Amino acid sequence: MSGTRSFPLNAWYAAAWDYEIKRDLTARTICDKDVVLYRRNDGQVVVLEDACWHRLLPLSLGHLKGDEVVCGYHGLVFNPAGRCTFMPAQETINPSACVRAFPVVEKYRLIWVWMGDPALADPDRVPDFHWNSDLPWVGEGGTFYKLQCNYRLVIDNLMDLTHETYVHVGSIGDEAITRNPFEVTHTDRKVTVARWMEDIEPPPFWARMLGRPGHVDRWQIIHFEAPCVVAGDVGVALTGTGARQGDRSQGVNGFFLAAITPETATSCHYFWNFVRSFRTDDPALTKSLNLAHVNNGQGVYDQDHDVLEAQQRAISKNPRQPFYNLNIDAGSLWAHRLIDRLIAAEQRGQTPAGTSPGLAAE
């Protein structure tokens, strides 16, 4: 990692699902910074530093008065731009009395916050997460807030799906994953890991989704966009029906989606979803896929949750750098490299708006 911070600040990070932020105060910690979120009367989302200018009480312990936040300690009032508009027992307001307001964008069913230089906060650079909101994809989604692991461990988990064979046995796991080769490609901001498994018995989950007997061609095409988003194109189709050539009409297709936001050095917020393009008018299927129960009653995402937190506990007790790596780690290693380039660019002060961070010195 570059320096002591493992995440860039000049990036859009998911802070909440859109439906979570209402006309009340919601506290979050993002990139080691406490913030408070709320909606104005016109529906626009506001994100402020969660610490009153006066005595640093979290503003999230106060209340809304119109579109302004009233501190719960001494009643100072802050507008959506973070400027103090009222001080008790005095008419003159100290011109330095303000809290930081963060750029915010509502897109793809999520609230995205920019934690770095606000002059660089280009809404067009929100990571591509369109599967989460656009037809034909349907899914409900969920969140692990305060997942007790560094956010990069989640990226590692999703960029190397060989773990499915062992962590998710009985549902999506299959030894064909470990037997078949994969290909890694990358640009300055994205990494793709592609694996095809042809003429195999489908694992239980995909056999149920396909609903027809026979061998299948299975694909896992994982897209990472630095620093925080993973979208995995996954599915099966009857063997020999042209899925690898682009015809998936004889199969079922889904995307597992992850927007991963650093909270602290050892915790993160994990916004996840599984969306599909088949049986999209079946709300019962949507609900069951969101739970994703397997044989022992534990969900697929719950299994990853347990593994990731156990891994972080082990790292904290046995610190060593770097990890040992295998061939299967190629995708995650490239993801780390792109993240480190973003951090290094910030440290050099070379992140001009509208360009690709990390390339200025390449």
- pLDDT, tens only, 278-293: 999 999 999 888 765 4
Q: Number of folded domains in the chain?
A: 2
Same domain, 98 and 181: no
Cα–Cα distances in angstroms (integers) from residue 213 to residues 111, 153, 302, in the given order: 42, 36, 29
CA quadruple 306, 311, 316, 319: dihedral, nearest 10: 180
Q: Are 99 and 49 in contact (CB under 8 A)?
A: yes
In degrees and rounded to multiples of 5, residue 203 shows phi and psi of -65, 165
Question: Is the residue at 81 inside a domain?
Answer: yes
- 152 lies in the same domain as 298: yes
SS3 287: helix
**138 and 46 share one domain:** no
Residue 128 is assigned to a structural domain of this protein: no
- With the C-alpha atoms ordered 61, 63, 64, 70, is the resulting torsion angle positive or negative? negative
- The answer to the question of residue 22 being in a domain is yes
Do 76 and 180 reside in the same domain of the chain? Answer: no
Residues 177-191 have pLDDT tens digits of 667 788 999 999 999
Q: Are residues 36 and 80 in the same domain?
A: yes
Q: Does residue 270 sit in the same domain as residue 302?
A: yes
Does residue 356 fall inside a structural domain?
no
- Co-location of 267 and 313 in the same domain: yes
pLDDT of res. 59: 98
Say if CB 255 and CB 130 are below 8 A apart: no
305 & 183 share domain: yes
Q: β-pairing, 182-186 with 12-17? A: unpaired
Q: Does residue 7 sit within a domain?
A: no
pTM: 0.89
Predicted local distance difference test score (pLDDT) of residue 163: 57
Contacts with 170 (C-beta within 8 Å, 6 or more apart), sequence order: 204, 294, 295, 296
Question: Does the residue 360 lie in any domain?
Answer: no
Instruction: Please give the pLDDT value at position 80.
Output: 98
pLDDT averaged per 10 residues, the chain (length 362): 75 98 98 98 98 98 98 97 96 95 98 97 96 95 93 92 55 63 92 93 90 93 96 95 95 95 96 94 88 52 81 86 78 93 89 39 29
Q: What tokens does 163 get?
A: 């773990």
Does some domain include residue 49?
Answer: yes
Report the distance separating Cα 195 and Cα 244, nearest Å: 10
Rounded Cα distance between 48 and 50, Å, is: 6
Listed in sequence order, the residues at least 6 apart from 317 whose beta carbon sits closer than 8 Å to its beta carbon are none
Range of the domain at 156: 134-348
